[in-house]
Amino acid sequence: MNHAINSSIWKSDDELAEVFINWGCHAYEKNIYGVKAEKEFRSCLKLVEVTVRNQYTDEWDILDDDCPYAYQGGLTLAVEKESKRKVRTLISDTRNPEMPKVVDASEEVDRVVRNTLFNPKWIEGMKKHGYKGTSDLMKKMVNLFG
């Protein structure tokens, strides 16, 4: 998904959903290693009502890599394409195991953007790291748009 999104050659969410389905439809079990099971995968996608991702640490956040949009985002698009309905995209926040909570993915993105990209103290801290700080800031921006 991340390569398709970054290439900017797709024209619709349905095209991105097809990329996810094509790459994610392989079955694995005891004696089966990566056999294409597209029909079965599409059938399962129709049954999904919510996609959930766990945020379990403050060491990294939803904008630190492309996995959140590549996997959860791709899965959400594929489910919506196959089921013909919107599904909820949630984050289970277990950073504090004593107080776990579930939030909408948009709430988690808002939290991270406020704590980093819109936070003058965070930006000043990144400036102290020179090109590495700039690279980290740029990576968050790219992943935000992803």
Give the structural domain span for 55. 2-104
Q: How many domains does the chain have?
A: 1
Residue 70 lies in a domain: yes
Residue 53 lies in a domain: yes
Residue 146 lies in a domain: no
User: 33-59, pLDDT tens digit by residue?
Assistant: 999 999 999 999 999 999 999 999 989
Residue 6 lies in a domain: yes
Residue 140 lies in a domain: no
Give the pLDDT confidence score for residue 30 in this predicted structure.
92
Residue 40 lies in a domain: yes
**Cα end-to-end span (Å), the chain:** 10
Give the residue from 79, 74, 91 showing the smallest Cα distance to 49. 79
Residue 19 lies in a domain: yes
Confidence of residue 115 (pLDDT cuts 50, 70, 90): very high
Residue 123 lies in a domain: no
